[in-house]
Structure 1
Amino acid sequence: MKVGIIDLAINNLSSIRNAFRSLGAEVAIVSDSAGVASVSHLVLPGVGTFRAGMEQLRKRGLEEPLLTHATKGKALLGLCLGMQLFADEGTEGGRTAGLGILPGRVAHLRELGVTGRLPHVGWNEISVVRDNRLLPSNAQNPIVYFVHSYAFCTPVSSFVTSTTSYEIDIVASVERGNVFGMQFHPEKSQRSGLEILERFIKVTC
């Protein structure tokens, strides 16, 4: 098992790399197709705009290798912007086509009805709404760390595994087959987050 973290030059990789290393995982920073092909578990982290994220994936020739990784059934995890890039399209930075791995779009929280302070920053409880492989199966919902102004919206609820409430219900995590996504930052969510990442590295697809 080897975890690859995609470098888009717009994301801070040190915290997520250190989190996986603390769990005993072999970790590689990948920035080309050969790097993607060499790992069993791939992580797409990200900060910044939807458009910038997709531009960097395409500029670095990583869009097709990432899609191939997913198509082959290898474990794929998107974090924050990384999860949003799984959508069909996003509007942050201008309307932009996404990876199209999961049906849906990414919209600003204002558009979705949030009137309070943005970005949504801080600790929020997530409500687990479906059996899944990464989140706790007990009755206690974890409290995790969010930083975002945009959210993943989908007409298909079957792959949504948890939500959080910030005036409205927001998709907090997704899972479909070998593809996983978190709107929150597990690497910044202390013990709850590390437990989630530990389950991810144990996933066999």
Structure 2
Amino acid sequence: MLISLSRVIKGYLLSALLGVVIGSLIGMSRTINELLLPMITVIRQIPMIAWIPLIILWCGIGEESKVVIIVLAAFFPILVNAESGIAQTPESFLEVARLYKLGWWKTFSKVYLPHAIPQILVGLKLGLGVSWMAVVASELIAATSGIGYRMSNARSLMRPDIVIVCMLVIGIVGILMDKAIGIIFELFTPWVEKKRRD
């Protein structure tokens, strides 16, 4: 479980960084949107499971392939939600930013990001769930360690009890991580929770 958890954390953090940054750029810039969005849309339609054989051929069955599979799976829900949240920023907010002649970074951090935070949080939660699916799928197909490998080994030994316990452990750890993300966002974005209560 610890091996799988470390893989999920590595892949998830990398996909979160890439997804939020690229999604924000696509949402803020029409030029970047027109350049990247069609290509990203095409890649997004390919099921995650279809990438696994190719990634294994490129990266082998070691740690790198598992992390790449997780990044590829979690990247798109995070990116789509980040792009959507940024793109839905009211034009009136942007007009005020232009009126005060705010630079690119201040416009992003003071206008775009606060408005997009709830949508980004949805993407991060979806990405976390997909990360667990990706790591288990990759470990079931090609691995020598991890909880997916343990489940595959239990299947070959005809031990459904072990498979069920592994499934329950994945669910419990996933819930705990999801709650942890929610707590972190509440700490850093108290205005979002206040707005929800109002």
Provide the TM-score with structure 1 as the length reference. Answer: 0.24
Greater fraction strand:
1
Structure of greater relative contact order (alpha carbons < 8 Å, 6+ residues apart): 2
Greater fraction helix:
2
